[in-house]
Amino acid sequence: MSSILSIENLSKRYGKVLAVDNISLEIEEGICFGLLGPNGAGKTTTIEMMEGILKPTEGRTLFRGEPIGPHFHQHVGIQFQSTALQDFITVEETLKLFSALYSTHRDPDEVIEICSLGDILKRDNRKLSGGQRQRLLLALAIVNDPKVVFLDEPTTGLDPQARRNFWSLIEKIKKEGKTILLTTHYMEEAEILCDEVAIMDQGHIIARDVPKKLLADNFDGVVVKLPWLSDKQLPDGAVLIDDYIEIHSRDIDATLHNLIHHSIHLDGLSIHAPNLEDLFLKLTGSSLRA
């Protein structure tokens, strides 16, 4: 597969603060690419430079091998973290309004079907639920039939059912061959939707690959978590994180035996396979939900 979007030596400085520090990456066409990291890592700044909204201090963004120009926005769709919708008009009228902003656009009925808007077309924007609002914003992001769709934390604030329903909409768009660039703080979301992820911290990309390969390369075994409010010495191999300890174990029987041997109560103990949040904690010591 060929690269549809890439950045070369991209940096952004705000006074003395270097928010993004000389990063480069390529995104293949037709995949869902996840950009992950805690608040302040530089991912939103990176996304805005890739979208052409923010001018980089150094470096450039390429679309199909060419520097992005004035016509780039005809080929991309963006769902921002927060978007103001026009009051006192309906969902249907909002779709028509945004569609008129582009020289080319896809069939409105297709957009309505993909984003499951048929039952709320006549509803005033002010009366939309959180999930309905996000479905409309997704529709506005694809109304111009873009090649690349940017989704910036699109499911933040949604209840679990609405979040999963939204995932199915993203899968529909992905099956059309669209390239999706997703930022999210929900690691389950990233593992389900993303073909490839990059993890940012302090303006740098510190890891990048297929999620399963990243986990396989960095973990061998399981993660044991246990509430920890004690003054005792930490067990061997344990890391204190907030009010619990975390142990990466290759031999769960030996780990539990060691905890019991040192008279450590096991109330609240949990065991799970490592996930992307565990990976980020291992690489940076920071929480992805920071």
Per-residue pLDDT of 202-238, as tens digits, reads 999 999 999 999 998 988 889 999 999 878 888 888 8
| pLDDT confidence band for 1 (50 / 70 / 90) | low
pLDDT of residue 282: 79
pLDDT above 90: residue 285? no
pLDDT (mean) for 24-38: 94
pLDDT above 60: residue 44? yes
Q: What is the 3-state secondary structure (H, E, C) of the chain?
A: CCEEEEEEEEEEEECCEEEEEEEEEEEECCCEEEEECCCCCCHHHHHHHHHCCCCCCEEEEEECCEECCCCHHHCEEEECCCCCCCCCCEHHHHHHHHHCCCCCCCCHHHHHHHCCCHHHCCCEHHHCCHHHHHHHHHHHHHCCCCCEEEEECCCCCCCHHHHHHHHHHHHHHHHCCCEEEEECCCHHHHHHHCCEEEEEECCEEEEEECHHHHHHHHCCCEEEEEECCCCCCCCCCEEEECCEEEEEECCHHHHHHHHHHCCCCCCCCEEECCCHHHHHHHHHCCCCCC
pLDDT (mean) for 195-203: 93
pLDDT above 80: residue 284? no
**CATH no. of 3-215:** 3.40.50.300
Of 290 and 19, the one with more pLDDT: 19
17-31, 44-58, 189-203, 266-280: lowest mean pLDDT where?
266-280
**Sequence-separated (6 or more) residues with CB below 8 Å from residue 266:** 226, 256, 259, 260
pLDDT in tens, 82-97: 788 999 999 999 999 9
pLDDT above 70: residue 253? yes
| pLDDT confidence band for 289 (50 / 70 / 90) | very low
> Would you kindly state where each structural domain of the chain is located, as residue ranges?
3-215, 220-273
| Backbone torsion region of residue 40, taken as left when φ is above 0, otherwise alpha when ψ lies between -120 and 50, otherwise beta | left
pLDDT in tens, 257-278: 999 988 888 999 999 989 888 8
pLDDT over 90 for what percent of the chain?
71
pLDDT (mean) for 123-127: 96
pLDDT (mean) for 46-52: 95
Written as six digits, the tokens of 182 are 């997703």
Written as six digits, the tokens of 73 are 């926005």
pLDDT (mean) for 246-266: 90
In the Cβ-directed half-sphere of 245, how many Cα atoms lie within 13 Å? 23
pLDDT above 80: residue 191? yes
Most confident listed range (18-27, 80-89, 209-218, 278-287): 18-27
Distance CA 43, CA 200 (A): 7
| pLDDT confidence band for 198 (50 / 70 / 90) | very high
pLDDT of residue 290: 42
pLDDT in tens, 134-156: 999 999 999 999 999 999 999 98
pLDDT above 60: residue 287? no
Query: What is the reported pTM?
Result: 0.86
pLDDT of residue 70: 85
> In 10 A of CB 231, how many CB atoms?
4
pLDDT (mean) for 173-184: 94
97-101 contacts at long range (C-beta below 8 A, 24 or more positions apart): 98/140, 98/143, 99/143, 99/144, 101/144
